[in-house]
Each structure stands twice: as structure tokens, then as C-alpha cells.
Structure 1
Amino acid sequence: MTLYYSLVFALLVAEMALFVALIVPMPFTMKRKLFTFISGSPLVAKVQYGMKITFIFILILFIDSVNRVYRVQVELAQAKNQGGAAAAAAGSERMEVQARKFYSQRNMYLCGFTLFLSLILNRTYTMILDVLRLEEEVKKLNGDKSAGGKGEKKLADAGDMGEIGRLKEELKKRDRDIDVLKKQSGGLSDEYKRLGDQFHVSDGTPKKDR
């Protein structure tokens, strides 16, 4: 195994260990402190940015391994079409092609599982943040004085990456749009009344008492 595929394998093992750490049951207070630290640490943010770049390179390796598997499959199909003495003479070459097929498939599965597990980790992390934030809100509504504070604010900010945060932003945007429409409607109504008064004055019609 080459060096970069060895690094991909090490990353896959690290992802599996991190996934197990995320799903391990632990007390709510400890979990809240842990995820508050993770979501607010600038060092963790830099590591996440570096991992995104790393996964781009792994995606390139995955595409290259898929291409290699396809080419090996074509070579094997051509070797099967050969018959008799030609096939016997090409026996050693076919063994080499089979070995290359094995290594290409191994690299493809390695890169593919690493990328797939990265997506699972990202989604699991976001869901845990949403669950912690909702538990904080439930405790706050039930009158638990220990709930809230800076930890809740950080978890809420981190949870905005999820679907609930996006829905809240959309509701705020719609409320602002409704306020703008109300102001525009009031301005148009005032302008209509002013133009109506001017029309009555210019027409010589006395303005009726309202």
C-alpha cells in the first residue's frame, strides 16, 4: 500500500473512532460542555477546514481508483476473448491483471468508505447539536435554572447549521418582508387620500366630512 493510501486508511480508522465517541452515552452536562467546546474552539474550526481540503484529495483518489478498476475490467474482458495457445501464453499476464484489479478495487472501497463516513459524521454531529439545543429549551421551559447561559447560546449558534436554524431565519425574513409591505401599503393609502383630496379641490366639489 502506497503512502497516501496508508494515510487514507489511518483517516478511516480515526473516523470510525470518532463516530463511536459521538454515539457513546454520556451525561447531559458532560456532553453539553464537550460540544460547546468543540463548536466554539478556533483550533477545531481550523482542523475542520483542513479536513475539507483533505477530503477533496480523497475524492480525486476515489475517481482515479474507479477509472483504474474500469480499465482493468476492460483488459480482463479482452483476455477472456483470447483462446487456446494465446490464452495459455497470456496466463502470467492475466495473473498480473487480476492482481491490479484487486488493488484497484481495494483502493476504491477504501476511499469510498472514507468519504461516505465523513458525510455520516457531519450529519451525526449536526443532529447531536440540534438535540442538545432542544433539550436546553425544554429544561428552560420546565423551570430548570441550570439551563441556559453561554453554553446554550453556543449550541444554538452551532445548531443554526441544521434545518431548524434555517427555518427560523426564513421566518424572520418573512416577518421583515411583511413589515415592509405594511409600510408600503400605508404609504400608498396616504398617497391615495391626498390625490383624492386634490381631485375634489380642482373639480370644485366640496370635500365631504369623514
Structure 2
Amino acid sequence: MTLYYSMVFMLLMLEMFIFGSLIFPLPFTWRRRLFTFISESPLVAKVQYGMKITFIFITVLFIDSVNRVYRVQLELAAASKSEMRGGAAVLGGSERMEVQARKFYSQRNMYLCGFTLFLSLILNRTYVMILDQLRLEEELKELKGDSSVKSKKSVNALGDPSEPGEVAKLKEQLKAKDRDIEHLKKQADGLSREYNRLGDQTSASDATPKKER
């Protein structure tokens, strides 16, 4: 194995170790401190930038290994076709073993680079998901703390310890709406009575001239 493929293999082992560290169950406070350090550390940011450049080179190696595998496959396919047609052996024993070895090394390099790139995507997505999980857990704890504070305030204000603050506030709003509806009903009844009275007066005034005639 050449030097750069050895470095790719070491990088793959490092990614596997980091992935195991990310999914290892830790207490919430420890995990929050760890990911806060990773997110805010300038050294980690520089390392991440260098890793992005490294993965670009690994992508180039992956494309080259795929090309080598394809060419070896074409060479073996052409040799097998010529032998099936009854021609002379295109590849001798040593030459065939050499082609098979090149095929093996090319496939090994392709799988090595491919798994390294694939695991880098998994690490990135796992890191983002863990950050979202920590953010949601912190928001949940803050909401629980705020709801407990609000419930205590509502108990002190209303004197009812069995009623949460939000429910009491909604009930007060419903009572105010009911009072407004009752007030509007009374106004509508008064307007209806006044309308009927004016209608009776108008009909009486229309009937008086007819009697005089």
C-alpha cells in the first residue's frame, strides 16, 4: 500500500473512532460542554478546514481508483472474449495473475476511499443531529423552568394552587368575552324594543287620519 493510501486508511480509522465517540452515551452536561468546545474552538475550526481539503484529494483518489477498476475489467473482458472465440491465449499465467492483482488493488483502493468519504458524510450528519438534539433539550428545560415560574406566579395572584397560570388566564378571558356577549345581547334587546315601539307609533299615526276622513 502506497503512502497516500496508508494515510487514507489511518483517516478511516480516525473517523471510526470519532463516530464511536459521538454515539457513546454521555451525560447531558458533559456532552454539551464537549460540543460547545468543538463548535467554538478556533483550533477545531482549522482542523475542519484542513479536513475539507483532504477530502477533496480523497475524492480525486476515489475517481482514479474507479477508473483503474473499469480499465482492468475491460482488459479482462477482452481477454475472455478472445479465448471464447477459440483464439490463442491473450494473457499467460503470470500476466493473468498480474491483471488479477491490479484488479484487487484497484478495488481495495476504491472501497477504501469510498468508505472514507461515506463515513465523513455520516459524521457530518451525526454531528448536526446531535447539535439539534442538544438545542432542543436546552429549550425544553427552559420551557419547563418558565412554566413552573409562571404557575407559581399565577398561584400567588389567584390563590388557587390547583390551577395553572395559563388555564386561569384563559378562563378570565372567556369570562370577559361572556360579559361582553351578555352586554351586546342587552343592547340588542333594547334596540328591538325601541324599534317595535317606533313601529307601533308609526302605524297608529297612519291609522288616525283614516278615521277622521
Report the TM-score range of the alignment, normalised by the length of the smaller protein: 0.5 to 0.7
| Residue aligned with 2:18, SS | helix
- In structure 2, the residue matched to 1:21 is 21
1:91 CA drift (Å): 2.3
Q: 2:106 aligns with which of 104, 107, 111?
A: 104
Q: Number of matched residues?
A: 144
Contact 2:12 2:116 in 1 (8 A): yes
Contact 2:9 2:112 in 1 (8 A): yes
Asked if 1:70 is matched to 2:73, the reply is no
AA aligned to 2:8 is V
- In structure 1, the residue matched to 2:32 is 32
Query: Matched residues, percent identical?
Result: 78
Gaps of 5+ in 2: 147-213
Contact 1:79 1:94 in 2 (8 A): no
- CA deviation string 1:142-199 (max 9, x = no partner): 118xxxxxxxxxxxxxxxxxxxxxxxxxxxxxxxxxxxxxxxxxxxxxxxxxxxxxxx
- CA deviation string 1:43-95 (max 9, x = no partner): 00000000000000000000000000000001101111233673286222111
Question: Could you say if the C-alpha distance between residues 124 and 106 of structure 1 is closer, same or farther in structure 2, counting changes exceeding 3 Å?
Answer: same
> How do 1:181-192 and structure 2 match up within 5 A?
none
Q: 1:135 aligns with which of 96, 113, 137?
A: 137
Q: 2:117 aligns with which of 106, 115, 118?
A: 115
- Which of structure 1's runs of 4+ aligned residues deviate more than 3 A? none
Gaps of 5+ in 1: 145-210
Question: Could you say if the C-alpha distance between residues 89 and 123 of structure 1 is closer, same or farther in structure 2, counting changes exceeding 3 Å?
Answer: closer
| Residue aligned with 1:140, SS | helix
1:28 CA drift (Å): 0.2
1:5 CA drift (Å): 0.1
Question: Could you say if the C-alpha distance between residues 95 and 13 of structure 1 is closer, same or farther in structure 2, counting changes exceeding 3 Å?
Answer: same
Contact 2:65 2:110 in 1 (8 A): yes
Structure (1 or 2) with the larger CA radius of gyration = 2
TM-score (norm 1): 0.66
